[in-house]
Amino acid sequence: MTDKRFDVLVVGAGPAGSVAALVLARGGARVALVDKATFPRDKACGDLIGPRGVQLLHELDLDVPVSLRLSDMVVVGPAGNRVRLPAAPGRTYPGYAIVVPRTRFDAALQAAAISAGAEFFVGRADEPLGESARPTGFSLPSRLRLQADVVIGADGATSHVADVSGLLDPRRLLWGFAVRTYLEQSVELPHILLWSPDAGRAFPGYGWVFPAGDGRVNVGLGVGVLGDRSAGRRAARDLVAFLEHASDVGVLGDGGREQPKPRPLGAWLKMGLVGTTPARDRVLLVGDAAGLVNPLQGEGIAQAMDSGRAAADAILGGVDGASLRYRQHLSRTHGRYMSTTASLHRTLLNRPRLVGAVTRGLTAPGVGRSIAGAWSITWNDLLDGATPGTSAAVATAATSIGYLLTARTADRRWIGAHV
């Protein structure tokens, strides 16, 4: 058995882990970056990086191979009504998103981390080293033991680091599952489809059709399952029916009626920060491992990169206080929004008829158009840094009402106590 020691061990080389390793290495830390896969590798994702993610890439001076630059998004209601959500620039972010396939995006970030000085290892971080619930490193199947002063868990929604560190409360977790595939189709703007496959009862999630470039679209379906992970099968089971629906409402052509090929790729989502303590002692969780996925629309890449940078900055500021500084950042940046939307998510998933009525109402002719600007800001968590105006004012009022309505929820209390 060979031992190697580092200042920081980052487990997982997705966007959160690679950004953490990049910032740490640039700051002079000795960093080990571990992933079970070689790169490039694929991930189930819409391949869309929102305005906050684009801004963070600029701030880190990172160039990624962009396929498309997109602006507005279209929401399609159960009856086929459309609402165009504007992508207005804010004071702290641009008015556009970019499309980058995860095979290229993740590989670019991992390569940037290595170029900055992080040392990359392929293998599963299986056997934790150190005291129980406080790992100081991991053994790899290659008979290599990596030890460090701090461990960053960037190993996704089903994080092994979170599990062995005792940072999970399974009773409170909000799970989701998503599948995606590519079709030879074209759309100009990204589309979100709110679907009611059973009369009056909303699908517990949503579908998407996003431009992917090169005459293709990225098509997927995400389902919220609360704590019942067995219900995640529904996303794959209902994908074909969803593609037929997308054709029926005119988003896809006849290609939506065909069995998707290749087989769809799936991934678990852990949402809303609830159920996961993001840091304790010298273990910090970032990205999906911390549950940093928007409970309203499933976005996670911008939050992943932000948390990776914040965790790295906290560690560079001093190991002993890193956990507290990192939690304070998450509380300031994500706590209010996540505690509100996690509570709403949990409540609405148990009321499919109410959700069906609400989505039909919001996308009714004239209604959605009148609130489209505020809807875009609120749904995409863009209020902080939004350009002042009517849309921002309405979004402020909506989020304040939501925060008050969810004040006494168990999710709010949990996040307040652990984040």
Same domain, 218 and 315: no
Return the half-sphere exposure (C-beta side, CA atoms, 13 A cut-off) of residue 103: 6
Detail the DSSP E strand segments found in 117-186. Answer: 119-122, 127-131, 134-140, 144-153, 175-183
| pLDDT number for residue 199 | 79
For residues 290 and 277, is the Cβ–Cβ distance under 8 A? Answer: no
> Is 241 among the domain residues?
yes
Distance (Å, whole) CA 401 – CA 318 = 38
Same domain, 47 and 148: yes
Strand pairing report for 191-193 and 73-76: parallel
- Tell me what the mean pLDDT of segment 29-38 comes to: 97
Continuous segment of H or E residues that includes residue 73: strand 73-76
Residue where one domain finishes, among candidates 306, 324, 341: 341
Average pLDDT of the chain, as a whole number: 94
> Is 193 among the domain residues?
yes
Same domain, 28 and 122: yes
Same domain, 213 and 161: no
Total domains, the chain:
2
User: What pLDDT, in 10s, does the model give residues 154-169?
Assistant: 999 999 999 999 999 9
| CATH number of the domain within which 258 lies | 3.30.9.10
- Tell me what the mean pLDDT of segment 8-21 comes to: 98
> Is 190 among the domain residues?
yes
- Tell me what the mean pLDDT of segment 386-415 comes to: 96
Checking if the pLDDT of 190 tops 90, the result is: yes
Containing structural domain, residue 164: 2-68+100-170+274-341
DSSP state of 333: I
| pLDDT number for residue 327 | 98
Same domain, 139 and 202: no
Residue where one domain finishes, among candidates 221, 251, 270: 270
> Is 263 among the domain residues?
yes
> Is 353 among the domain residues?
no
Question: The tokens of 266 are what?
Answer: 């799936």
Same domain, 146 and 31: yes
Question: The tokens of 203 are what?
Answer: 């699908």
CA distances (Å), origin 378, targets 145, 301, 338, 397: 45, 17, 12, 10
Question: The tokens of 339 are what?
Answer: 């505690």
Same domain, 196 and 224: yes
> Is 348 among the domain residues?
no
| pLDDT number for residue 384 | 97
pLDDT band at residue 198 using 50, 70 and 90 as cut-offs: confident
> Is 93 among the domain residues?
no
| pLDDT number for residue 258 | 62
Same domain, 212 and 258: yes
| pLDDT number for residue 261 | 56
Same domain, 181 and 163: no
User: What pLDDT, in 10s, does the model give residues 62-100?
Assistant: 999 999 999 999 999 999 999 999 999 999 999 999 999
Checking if the pLDDT of 122 tops 70, the result is: yes
| pLDDT number for residue 133 | 73
| CATH number of the domain within which 105 lies | 3.50.50.60
Same domain, 233 and 330: no
Distance (Å, whole) CA 7 – CA 219 = 41
User: What pLDDT, in 10s, does the model give residues 253-301?
Assistant: 875 666 565 578 899 999 999 999 999 999 999 999 999 999 999 999 9
pLDDT band at residue 131 using 50, 70 and 90 as cut-offs: confident
- The candidate with the shortest Cα–Cα distance to 338, out of 300, 295, 299, is 295
| pLDDT number for residue 255 | 59
Residue where one domain finishes, among candidates 316, 341, 366: 341
Q: Which of 85-89, 139-143, 339-343, 375-379 has the lowest mean pLDDT?
A: 139-143
List alpha helices for 170-232, DSSP H: none
pTM above 0.85, yes or no: yes
| pLDDT number for residue 257 | 65
Same domain, 29 and 141: yes
Does residue 338 come out as left (phi exceeding 0), alpha (psi in the -120 to 50 range) or beta? alpha
Q: What are phi and psi of 97, to 5 degrees?
A: -120, 170
Let me know the angle formed at the C-alpha of 114 by 113 and 117, rounded to the nearest 5 degrees: 95
Residue entry with tokens 């997705």? 14
User: What pLDDT, in 10s, does the model give residues 53-62?
Assistant: 999 999 999 9
CA distances (Å), origin 263, targets 51, 221, 256, 391: 30, 13, 14, 41
> Is 140 among the domain residues?
yes
pLDDT band at residue 142 using 50, 70 and 90 as cut-offs: confident
Same domain, 282 and 146: yes
